[in-house]
Amino acid sequence: MDFSALCVLCVGDVMLDRYHYGAMERISPEAPVPVLRLTRTREMPGGVGNVANNILSLGGRAILVGLVGEDEAGRTLRRLLGGMAGLTDATIATAARPTVCKTRFVAANQQVVRADEESRLPLQPDEQAALVAALEAHVDCVSVLLLSDYGKGVLGPAVIAHAVSLARARGIAVFVDPKSRDFRRYRGATCITPNARELGEASGLAVEDEAEVERAARAVMAEAEADAILATRSEKGMILVERDGGAHAVRSRAREVFDVSGAGDTVIAALALAYASGRTLEQAMHIANAAAGVVVGKLGTATADLAEVMEELDLADQELGEAAGEGGSVAGLSSLPRVQGLVARWKAQGLSVGFTNGCFDILHPGHVALLASARASCDRLVVGLNTDDSVARLKGKERPVNPLAARAQVVAAVRHVDAVVGFEDDTPLSLIRSLLPDVLVKGADYAPEQVVGAAEVEAAGGRLVLARLVPNSSTTATIARIRQADRAGR
């Protein structure tokens, strides 16, 4: 994944997050409250500022639009924003309201109290005009628009409507992290990302199980005229409901630490970047879920980088294999359910999946050349191996020379191979139908119409690759030479 070419216009309530850390060692003599002895202070952009920070952490660029007060917190916030590489600070100074500042006091990794500084003043005409002008100045420079509504006043109805109109007129996707219970405010959004509680409040419906979440999502999606709703469900994962499609659920991976602070910011940042990079919403959801898994495993507001997200996806793949009853690693013989899960995961990441098959009885240069050619045609390669009974039916009762487990271990050790799975039939047609790879690879000694599964792969939008063969290289010839040498030795 590479998001370096993408720029996201982040609009909404920008804040300053302050963390005062210390130790509680005694009770105050003035009142029955603990005394916190401060040891350090940490400051960072919050609200939509944290969304922008997540965009940067994932490798993208961001333009930040919001309101900042002319006060000490505002000066601190601007200083922090100025030090963020890849960020364009397009925030607007206002004398009408203070900078939104959330100050948290933390002892022994527990938040003791939070103090908020903010104004409940409605958006003023000059503020609205300045926000609209900033949107118009920057919308042509971005790949996607992200609206982060914390209910602090920046995203008034007129600003939202103007922002969505500008983006959609240019074919730019719009992602919304909502606060209002009335999702009609976000009319025309590509995707709205409420948590389960927000979805329940907006719809007035129960959201306990997946069926209820889908029902509630479809209700508010119709009112908002949105293309999709992505409902986050904390440790239960998330559910994507598309207006013109079905519902897709993904589970969160189990972990010891589960701190959801800022997780919603990470979800929408990763989702928007992944979608803007050309992935489908379902594919983007898997990436966003992995990014959220990274940040909930950290205490406090945090971000995820690409390396952490890729590692999280790999760990999820491992759990998927264990859930499918596959105890070994992908480097050995995998069960069909595990390979199906891996293929789905790889496709969700936007990777092309290739498939080739054979007996691979005694590995020789021809085999290695075929595997290398196959891997060069795709991002991930699955190899299907005939089982021992299948090989015997095709090659005779003296074959295979090596049993399936040994053949799988050797093939999986080839660096071009990402997964190995066995199949019982004489042909891999059933296996190909279950995996539907993007690329089907076979030796050039076959004509296209002779390749089993080619029609099915091409009908699904995939392609057939016929790989060049290495002359005079085959298992049969190798066995013949071994027998000839054995006879000569006698």
In this structure, what CATH number is given to the domain that contains residue 375? 3.40.50.620
Task: Indicate if the pLDDT at residue 471 is higher than 50.
Answer: yes
Under the banding of pLDDT at 50, 70 and 90, the label for residue 304 is confident
Same structural domain, 350 and 265: no
Structural domain count, the chain: 2
What are the tokens at 322? 């264990």
Task: Give a yes or no: residue 169 inside a domain.
Answer: yes
Q: Is residue 165 situated within a structural domain?
A: yes
Phi-psi region of 384 (alpha: psi -120 to 50; beta: other; left: phi over 0): beta
17, 227, 265, 438: the active-site residue: 265
Mean pLDDT of the chain: 88
Choosing from 300, 321, 342, the residue where a domain stops is: 321
Check residue 472 and give its pLDDT.
64
DSSP state of 238: E
208 and 299 housed in the same domain: yes
Instruction: Kindly tell me the number of DSSP H helices and DSSP E strands found in the chain.
Output: 16, 21
Same domain, 99 and 189: yes
Question: Which amino acid is residue 428, in one-letter code?
Answer: P
Q: How far apart are CA 192 and CA 22, in angstroms?
A: 38
**C-alpha–C-alpha distance, residues 157 and 400, integer Å:** 71
- Rounded mean pLDDT of 29-42? 92
Question: CB–CB of 58/304 below 8 Å?
Answer: yes
247: left (phi over 0), alpha (psi -120 to 50) or beta: beta
Would residue 418 show up in a list of annotated catalytic residues for this protein? no
Q: Tell me what pLDDT residue 325 has.
A: 45
Same domain, 223 and 350: no
Q: Indicate the residue among 321, 341, 364 that finishes a domain.
A: 321
- Predicted TM-score (pTM) of the model is 0.67
pLDDT in tens, 306-326: 777 876 776 666 565 554 444
Q: Are residues 307 and 346 in the same domain?
A: no
Tell me how far apart the alpha carbons of residues 361 and 447 are, in angstroms, rounded to a whole number. 23
Residues 353 and 258 in one domain: no
Note whether 261 and 342 are same-domain residues: no
Task: State the Cα–Cα distance between residues 143 and 148, nearest whole angstrom.
Answer: 16
| Domain limits for position 131 | 7-321
pLDDT digits (tens, 9 = 90+) for 84-130: 999 999 999 999 999 999 999 988 878 889 999 998 889 999 999 99
Is 1 contained in some domain?
no
206 & 287 share domain? yes
Domain match, 293 and 214 both? yes
* Residue 99 shares a structural domain with residue 52: yes
Q: Are residues 302 and 386 in the same domain?
A: no
308 within some domain: yes
